[in-house]
Chain A
Amino acid sequence: MNKANLRGKMFAIIASLSLVFALAACGSKNSDNGNNGASSPSSTSTSSESSSEQSESASPKSDVKLTLSHWKVSFDPGFKAVAEAFKQKTGITVETQTTTPDAAYSQKLIASAAAASLPDIWATDASPAYRAFDGKAYEWSGELSKDEAWKKGFLPAALSGVTVAQANIDAWAKDEKASDWQKATKPGQVYGIPIDVGAFYMIYGNKKIVEQAGLEAKEPATFEEWVSMMKTVKEKTGTPGFVFAGNVGGVYNAWFVNLVDYMKNGEESFTKFMNREEKLSDPKHIWALKFIEDLTKDGLLLPGAASLDIDPADQAFAQGKAAFSLGGTFTYANLTAIGMNADDVFSFRVPAFKDSVVPDAKVSPFPLVQLVVNNEGPSKEAAIEFVKFLTSEEGQVLYANNAYDLPSVQIKDGSKLNSSIQAMASSLSSESNWWSENPAIWQQVFKEDWKVLSTGMVKVMLGTSTAEDAAAEYDKAAAAYKKANP
């Protein structure tokens, strides 16, 4: 081996190492830019845009830059509008990072929490102590007590839906999947601030199709009247009556079945059904599959609905392929976003059967998304300030109008909200009732055994199983679930 060769090799080593360090330096520079010292999570498959690149000369100046991570593409304009107004007031920049789909976003958050690199603020589904990551989230109860005016601004259901209750602690105590930190939480603690409210159980109707069938586009008085409307539409126009996301199990179970069953059978029987003490094959509850069976036999379901996800189902409805669609308050924004004329839609709560025990059950809105502040973040105070601004009346008007979302606070001057949001907000009750006070009961539909009901429901939709057989399959799964989770 001659010296020239060795020198060449040493040069190659030095060059390689320099390249590695140079690349590493580039990487760290980027992350610093994004977060002002706070390490930000990986940006793979994320879109990151600065909310306001140029600050007005009149606005205060600040070097603080916050990162807000979320997974709702349709909410991003709302966050950006609030961030811009916040910058005008404080000089603090808020950068939003959107990561989709929600499973990827969840995993990114979990990994960031484990690596102690959470963003300053992150959005999650609204639920007590959810995604608080064993105390990495800021606890808000002190701030809420300190600022009574801010606290009083929230809709009661919005704040109660994110506050740790004794019932949550009791449930976590029995739950093997709950962490020790969750079990040690105290009633009244708040780890996320709700930024919106909403509700499932909405049926959307296509005015044009319904009127073409010679019917009046208005809320049917009963479940039976609604089915009769679908039959008339099919008969007169040939358009199938109903579409929903059959391939997403939770949609039919959690957006339709639980409320209709509650209205039909009342609190006691419904609670027994949810606790697996009454069977699905019981004549009181089998309607959930019989309804699908009848729709299938009468050709009232959109062909292919069994394979549809939520967005394709909304698209099919918006394209006029079915007269009615199942959704939530949040569906409205989606329908208008994909080009459906707002004047062509009418909506109503899922109807109750004629002889229902609680036919006039009011749907109370519950919080859908909450913002969580990083308790260990370098700009914690600024993040708290931003979340408080976003949930002030001023911030909520900006957010709601740009995100087409229902605000979580009371807006004294409703005319500040756009007309469609005003209409939806007025259709919901803000009063507390049995349904809003007992989420732990009706949320049983999210448990594992209900996946078996979803599978059976699809089989009934496709005509490969009867309602009775599918109900028997579910009853077996429910019994197994109850045995494993007494």
Chain B
Amino acid sequence: MNYRKAARREALAGYLLIAPAVGLFIVIGLFTVLFSIVLSFFSLPQGQLIWNAKFAGLDNFKDFLLGGNYILSGFFRQAIVNNMWIAFAMVVIVIPLALIIAVLLEKATRGVRLFRTIYLLPMVTSSVAIYYVWQGLYDPTGSINQLLASFGLDSWIAKNGWIGEIHTALPAIIITIVWGALPHSLILFFAGLQAVDTHLYEAAEIDGANAWQKLTRITWPILKPITVIVIIMNLNVALQVFDQIWVMTKGGPAGATQVVNVLVYQQAFFQDGDMGVANAMGWTMFMLTFILSLLSLKLFGDKSGRESH
């Protein structure tokens, strides 16, 4: 009986200790998320107070998804295509590149500290400051154009700057995003490689396994679940990208680097925008990220889970 009383008291103490955190989460986290979902079904023009919100049903979604608003749906289409290009680049460039560098680092015997410092640089520097540096590099009179000019490659120069031309702006932004996202993926792969028991390789060698067999039978099964995490992480970065674009191009030129989150920001905070439409766009993007993450888990997750056990 005493034991049960003490256990109850202990539980109560636990609940009391976590109560402030749970309270904060309910007020700040859960409430805002639920409020945002509700708002996506209302029309709340920019500048109006919340009690002026009018129920709009699915109109907000129809406006940008089904062409209800000709102008907005055009901008949304362009933004989603750009997000998809960034997502594609994040998967096909970042993952192989991070894996290759991780393998090389794992095998390196000299200069490992220096390389670690270099690859961690994007993580420890102020992102906004770095975007301004990239902006300077891409400027019409920036280092990239000057370098090309010094090699006599005048025809390669982007006259309006690398983020100032419609055809080069998105690839230039993708390079910046890839550069910023690489360290996170690299760290995960590097940690995965270091977790491989070296005895497994020795045993495989004794059994006569070649390098390909060691890679596919030992390394890959261990790295596969990590790859799923890396894919989901990179998809998330690609579909939620905002700060690089806002600092460097604001979606320009002529919408060449427009992405959904920039459009959401403009809809929410600029004149003629609508907070309801902004929230609807945000939740559409969340659903897309969620579906793509589920697909990634389906493709790699379950099997790898069973294999790795």
Contact = CB atoms under 8 A, between A and B. Distances in A.
A448 B272 contact: yes
Contact count band on A: 35 or more
B95 to A, nearest CB: 31
Interface stretch (A5-13, A356-364, A406-414): A5-13
B183 interface: no
B164 A307 contact: yes
Interface residues of B, number: 46
B252 A306 contact: yes
Contact of B165 (A12, A309, A462): A462
Nearest to A483: B70
B121 to A, nearest CB: 26
A459 B255 CA distance: 10
A81 B47 CA distance: 30
A477 B160 contact: no
A180 interface: yes
Nearest to A250: B271
A113 interface: yes
B87 to A, nearest CB: 23
B161 interface: yes
B254 A13 contact: no
B166 interface: yes
A114 interface: yes
Interface in A117-131: 131
Interface in A7-27: 9-10, 12-13, 16, 20
A12 B19 CA distance: 13
Interface stretch (A102-110, A156-164, A426-434): A102-110
Name, among B9, B252, B269, the residue most crowded by chain A CB atoms within 10 Å (CB to CB): B252
Interface stretch (B10-18, B104-112, B146-154): B10-18
A455 B160 contact: no
B88 interface: no
Interface in B261-277: 265, 269-272, 274
B193 interface: no
B50 interface: yes
B13 A10 contact: yes
Contacts of A304: 139-140, 160-161, 164
A177 interface: yes
Nearest to A104: B269
**From B10, B160, B167, B272, residue with most partner A Cβ within 10 Å:** B160
A179 interface: yes
Interface in A99-157: 103-104, 106-107, 110, 113-114, 131, 133-134
A134 to B, nearest CB: 6
Contacts of B271: 446
Given A306-B253, A446-B271, A106 B47 contact: yes
Contact of B71 (A106, A461, A477): A477
Contacts of B143: none
10 contacts: A6-B9, A16-B17, A134-B49, A134-B52, A179-B49, A307-B161, A307-B253, A452-B71, A452-B74, A464-B254
Interface of B: 3, 6-7, 9-10, 13, 16-17, 20, 43, 45-52, 69-72, 74-75, 139-140, 159-161, 163-167, 249-250, 252-255, 265, 269-272, 274
